Amino acid sequence: MRQLAVDLVEETGLTLGDYDVLAQLALAGGVSRMTDLANRAFNSRSGMTRRVDRLVDEGLVRRTGIDTDGRGVVVG
């Protein structure tokens, strides 16, 4: 597992945690509420926020608010 993590970072710049988030998004059809994504990726909400911030900065995902729920955030 350690070698996989090293190889992934060297080849793509993604950590296993980043890859897991992208895989969970793919399994969810490409879009997920932030809370659901954190639960599926076994991450805290604050940890998921930081991870998604990095993925947004890299241009790999987008984060948008939910019109019907001012507190909800969708990642896709």
Counting as low any pLDDT under 70, the low residues of the chain are: 67-71
Count of domains for the chain = 1
- Give the whole-angstrom CA distance, residue 23 versus residue 54: 16
> CATH number, domain at 38?
1.10.10.10
* Predicted pLDDT of residue 18: 93
Q: Which domain holds residue 8?
A: 2-75
Share of the chain above pLDDT 70, in %: 93
Sheet holding 69-75, edge to edge: 32-33, 69-75, 63-66
